[in-house]
Amino acid sequence: MSLFVTVPTPQLADRLGSLPEGVELAVWDMQSPAPRERIDLAVQPYMGGTQALRNLEGLDIGLVQSQSIGYDGVSELLPDGIPFANAASVHETSTAEITLALTLAAQRQLPRFVLAQQHGEWSPVFAESLADRRVLLVGFGGVGEAIAMRLEPFEIDLTVVARTARPVWHERLGRVQVHAIDELPSLVPDAEIIILALPGGDETHHLFDDELLGAMADGALLVNVGRGTLIDTDALVRQEGRIRAALDVLDPEPLPAEHPLWKTDGVLISPHVGGASTAMNPRITKLIRGQIERMLRGETPTNIVLGD
C-alpha cells in the first residue's frame, strides 16, 4: 500500500524524518494549488488554517489532520465526505501549563512585579494563594483532566463541571463527582477561582454572560483556556473590575488594540498561546507518524471527529 501525505511547512516535513516505505511526502500549505488531486493524508496549517479547508473542494482527500484540538466552524467549511481528525494528545499538557501559569500569575500578582521592575521599584504585596482556594473547573475532557491533575498538588478544594453529571474514577485523582453544566448558577457564587476548559459551539456560546458573571463573588478569578466565545466579552467589560480574569482565548481574536478589555482592571491577557510551546513539536510529529502507520496497515485513523 502507498500513501501520499502533505504537510503545511518544510519544518514539519523535516521533523517527520524518514517515513515507511510507500509513503510520499510533499509540502502543501492548502493555499497554493494542490500537488495532486488525490491526497491520502493532508495536515492542516496550525492556527488560522480553518479557512483553507475551502480549498479542498473537488479534491479526493482521505483524511484531514488538524494540528489543534478544537474544531469550531470546521463542519461549515470542510467539503462533504472528507474525514477530519483533531490533535487530541498534542496540546493538553501545554494548555494545562498555561492555565496554572495564568492562575498563579493572577493570584500572586506577578504582572504588578513586572511593572514595578521596569521602574526599579521594590513593591511587595500580600497576595491571594492558589492553595486552599475553592476552584470550579468547567470542562473535564482531555484538557480539563490535565488541568485537574496539575491543580491537585496545590491542595485546593476542587469542584468539576461537565456537560452531564456523573461519577468518574480517575487514576490520578481518585473518585471525581462531576456536576452537570446546568448546575453552574448554584456553583458559581461560591467559587474563588473558575477555570473554563470547554469547547466552543452553539451550546457553550456566551455561557458566562451578564447573569453568570454577575453571580461570581467579588474579586473572584475567571480563567479561560477553552474558547473565547465561552465568555461574553462585553459583559466582562461591564463588570468594571469587580471580578478578575486571566484569558488565553478571547472573542474576538486577535483582540483589537482599542478594545476596552485591554484596560479593564484585573484582567490578564495572553494571546492564545496555550498550545504554542516546545511540547507541541514532538507530539504532533508522533501523532502524524501514528496516523500514517495506521493507514498503511489499513486501520482507521485515530481522533476522527467529523466524517466517516
Q: HSE-up of 254 (CA within 13 Å, CB side)?
A: 8
With a pLDDT cut of 90, the percent of the chain lying above it is: 93
Mean pLDDT in residue range 65-94: 94
Given this model, what pLDDT does residue 47 score? 81
pLDDT band at 111 (very low <50, low <70, confident <90, very high): very high
**E-only strand ranges, 108-196:** 134-138, 157-162, 166-170, 174-180, 193-196
Q: Which three cell numbers stand for residue 119?
A: 521602574
DSSP-derived 3-state class of residue 135: strand
SS3 203: helix
Decide if domain 3-90+278-306 falls under CATH 3.40.50.720. Answer: yes
Task: Give the pLDDT score at 174.
Answer: 87
Residue 42: pLDDT above 80? yes
Q: What is the gyration radius of the CA atoms in the chain, in angstroms? A: 21
pLDDT of residue 221: 98
Q: 172 with 202: CB under 8 angstroms?
A: no
Return the amino acid letter for 99.
T
- Ranges of each domain in the chain: 3-90+278-306, 91-269
pLDDT in tens, 212-226: 999 999 999 999 999
| pLDDT at residue 21, as a whole number | 95
Least confident of 67-71, 111-115, 228-232: 67-71
pLDDT band at 1 (very low <50, low <70, confident <90, very high): confident
Residue among 304, 301, 275 nearest 90 (CA): 275
pLDDT in tens, 132-191: 999 999 999 999 999 999 999 999 999 999 999 999 988 888 899 999 999 999 999 999
Give the separation between CA 166 and CA 21, rounded to whole angstroms. Answer: 46
Q: What is the pLDDT of residue 50?
A: 82
- Return mean pLDDT, the chain: 96
CB 229 within 8 A of CB 172: no
DSSP three-state, residue 280 = helix
Same topology between domain 3-90+278-306 and domain 91-269: yes
> C-alpha angle 277/281/282, rounded to 5°?
120
pLDDT at 65 over 90: yes
How many CA atoms are closer than 13 Å to the CA of 153, on its beta-carbon side? Answer: 4
pLDDT one-digit tens code per residue, 243-256: 999 999 999 999 99
Return the CATH class of domain 91-269.
alpha beta
Amino acid at 167: P
